[in-house]
Amino acid sequence: MVQVRELHEWPSAEAEAVAVQERLRSMVRFDGAPEEVRTVAGLDVAYAEGSDDVIAAVTVLNLADLSVVDSSVVRARAEFPYVPGLFAFREAPSLLEALAGLDVEPDVLVCDGQGLAHPRRFGLACHLGVLTDLPSIGVGKTSLGKYDPPGPERGDRSPLLLDDEPVGSALRTQPRVKPIFVSVGHRCTLDAACDLVLRLAPRYRLPETTRTADQLGRAESRR
């Protein structure tokens, strides 16, 4: 079971949430990499149509063959309003509950969202990484910053800049396919994060962690 550190209460107001991000971002570590990665969790959130329900889906993959070895899904009411830059306060409580429901503790968390590539350098991947103290990575489908297109081949990457500061990489996971945007969440270097994401994306643009978690959330939303 994934252990969650109780480092703050979940605020209901925007100013309180910003204060939590400002306080916790000093706890983020950008050094090192897991000594051995055997299991990787994908985390994704869907929103039920016509309601404020959040569907938090987590899948755990065996890195050796990318098979799903565990999964957990939680459907709950979103308690925090929709505010750009503060999505973690809307999504993280349910994701943490889903993580707590796993039987297999993952070695790394791969979030469908941002890590350091965030206005206050504390996106969802940073928040979940700090609260669980697990290595975490943010993988975004769209860019929050500026970048020059990486080379056309798989593995080509270019710096992702926010306020002229490097916050991640635009990473080409498949030849001549749109890049994805990788940023560090916690306890991982950017090089290690990009290497892992490439291993998780042998065939498609998005890593299998994101794809399987998205499929699990979609299946739950149809029920």
Q: Which residues does the annotation place in the binding site for Mg(2+)? A: 44, 112
Q: Find all residues with CB under 8 Å of 136, minimum gap 6, and list them.
A: 108, 109, 110, 111, 115, 125, 126, 128, 129, 185, 186, 187, 188
Give the up-direction half-sphere exposure of residue 140: CA atoms within 13 A in the CB hemisphere.
23
Q: Which residue has the tokens 């990499």?
A: 33
- Alpha-carbon distance of 39 to 122, in angstroms, equals 24
Q: Which residues are annotated as a binding site?
A: 44, 112
Three-point CA angle 9, 13, 15, nearest 5°: 95
- Alpha-carbon distance of 30 to 198, in angstroms, equals 19
